[in-house]
Structure 1
Amino acid sequence: MKQWHLIIDVEKCVDCNNCFLACKDEHVDNDWPGYTRPQPRHGHRWINIMRTERGQYPIIDVAYRPTTCMHCQDAPCIKAAGGSIVKRPDGVVLIDPDKAKGRPELVKACPYQAIWWNEEQDVPQKCTFCAHLLDQGWKKPRCVQACPTGALKVEYVADAEMSRICQTNNLEVLQPEYNTQPRVFYQNLYRFTKCFIAGSVAVNNNGVIDCAEGVRITLFSDREKLSAVVADNFGDFKIDNLPGNSGQYSLEIEKSGFKKATVTVELTTSQNIGTVYLG
């Protein structure tokens, strides 16, 4: 059976908030009977752009992670709702605006903090995947339609096909330890969750300090080679997708005609090691 899935590419999100504004445009002051009550003008963020900054000056990396209802296959909110939250055959999870009325405790049922309380309407609310539009024949919700960079896209496919898409594109879910089987998948999530080691390399050419283009930097952990990169024409390099608080690493920095340099890094968070000079 085909179901809806949302794919979010952290690499492509630029924090423009078009998705957030499109959601507001669709739901503020608009009542969609059977789907949801009007969204408040202020306070709710049914698609919330989370932000993180990694590294130290001058090598800094900023990433944005759109976060919304995960439309989980094994949704904790459904278990807590006693019939007031349901999963449709197409995979969309909806809060019944009548049955859930007067139940603020359901806000805490979502481990992703994707449910919001509407004080005026006396009802919990969240992303509906624009189910009212899908039921009219739309091929995508408003947030996806409004995204100018392609950071958001949908797939309406069976689970087997979605598994293939996940494997092909290295997709992963947010907080896999929750075991909720989300139908929202992330690409390049490491930009938000992992760390990097970065720096610059310079050489001394007869008393002239210059950027070391083409230097090879190899990363080791306990003498095991993990990866290797080549410095760009500014001598800059970055080795990404490393676990935080993962201990000691060593970098071997090599360029033909120069003595090899070795740098040891204790990685707690993303680390800019500064400039390494080859003599």
Structure 2
Amino acid sequence: MKAFIVDLSRCNGCYCCQIACKDEHVANDWAPYAKPQPDTGQFWVKVHEEVRGTVPKCKISYTPKMCLHCDDPECMKVCRFEAITRRDDGMILINPAKCTGCKLCADYCLHDAIYFNEDLNLAQKCTGCAHLLDDGWDIPRCVDNCPTGALTFGEESDLQEKIAKAEFTSDKCKGRVYYLNRPKKFVAGTVYDPVEKEVVIGATCTLKDKYSDQTFQVETDNFGDFWFKELPDGEYFYTLTIEKDGTKKTLEAFNATKDVNLGDIAMRLL
């Protein structure tokens, strides 16, 4: 069975995978695998961009998404015309000759990975470039075109070491697309002395969860900035304590369900 590995720590948002998919499928008829993909409106591989935090403490994360080629696909269950099938290699295909355009598969897809082609009255999606695999290619075009090595494709049995480290897959229909190194949350800010009008360097910053007492500690850098990175997911309420040369300042519990930029924090040193 084939599988995709997407290493999010390597994805830099170049959109080469998305462009390669368009280049391979727009205006190209690969029936019986798929009819041509429209030049607009459909992205069988789509790079999702997420801006985390707020300026100037912000990061941008990129996540390529595609059909998960589920082991137990809802789309295949609801198709009344046997247009959707799973190949021996695990790739899920929609046969354009059998699709009647009822749109049930698109409605029931749990991952919004199925598009509808109004001109052709067809449901369409990522095929894993099955036509290329059957023609002797080892990998789909999106993987072949990825310059950073963020995308890997191969036999699932050969990728077990990476799959074992995957931080999340689909919890709805086990898929053949695995994601590594999902970005973790951060809390950041800047400490400055309002009288001296200088940033505070080397202040000890302690982040403490209100309910579990779990703590994290960093120091402000040469710009007065502090970054708490790789924080756990979930709803957390943290208290921040900043200490330097006998002076202490505490910020009461704040919600860190998402990435947080606390902005400029004034602390008058003694």
TM-score over 0.5 (shorter chain):
yes
TM-score range, shorter-chain basis?
A: 0.7 to 0.9
Deviation at 1:97, TM superposition (A): 1.5
Contact 2:49–2:60 (8 Å) recurs in 1: yes
Aligned residue for 1:182, secondary structure, equals coil
Q: Compute the TM-score of the two structures, normalised by the length of structure 1.
A: 0.84
Residues 168-247 of structure 1: matches in 2 within 5 Å?
169-174=165-170, 176=171, 178=172, 180-190=173-183, 195-202=185-192, 207=196, 209-213=198-202, 215-221=203-209, 222=211, 224-240=213-229, 241-243=231-233, 246-247=235-236
Aligned to 2:40: 42
1:170–1:38: structure 2 CA closer, same or farther, 3 Å change rule? closer
For the residues of structure 1 that align with 2:186 and 2:86, how far apart are their CA atoms?
39
Match of 2:162 among 165, 170, 175: 165
Deviation at 1:33, TM superposition (A): 2.2
Greater per-residue helix proportion: 1
For the residues of structure 2 that align with 1:60 and 1:188, how far apart are their CA atoms?
18
For the residues of structure 2 that align with 1:247 and 1:188, how far apart are their CA atoms?
21
**Structure 2: which amino acid aligns with 1:249?**
Y
Contact 1:116–1:125 (8 Å) recurs in 2: yes
| Structure 2: gaps (5+ residues) | none
Aligned residue for 1:143, secondary structure, equals helix
Aligned to 1:138: 137
Deviation at 1:188, TM superposition (A): 2.9
CA RMSD, 1 decimal:
2.4
Aligned to 2:107: 108
1:115–1:223: structure 2 CA closer, same or farther, 3 Å change rule? closer
For the residues of structure 1 that align with 2:212 and 2:40, how far apart are their CA atoms?
54
**Structure 2: which amino acid aligns with 1:24?**
K
1:94–1:252: structure 2 CA closer, same or farther, 3 Å change rule? same
For the residues of structure 2 that align with 1:226 and 1:137, how far apart are their CA atoms?
53
Residues 119-158 of structure 1: matches in 2 within 5 Å?
119-158=118-157
CA deviations over 1:18-66 (Å, ceiling 9, x no partner)? 1111111111111112211111122111112222222222212222221
Aligned to 1:89: 88
For the residues of structure 2 that align with 1:16 and 1:124, how far apart are their CA atoms?
28
**Structure 2: which amino acid aligns with 1:234?**
F
The count of corresponding residues between Structure 1 and Structure 2 is 264
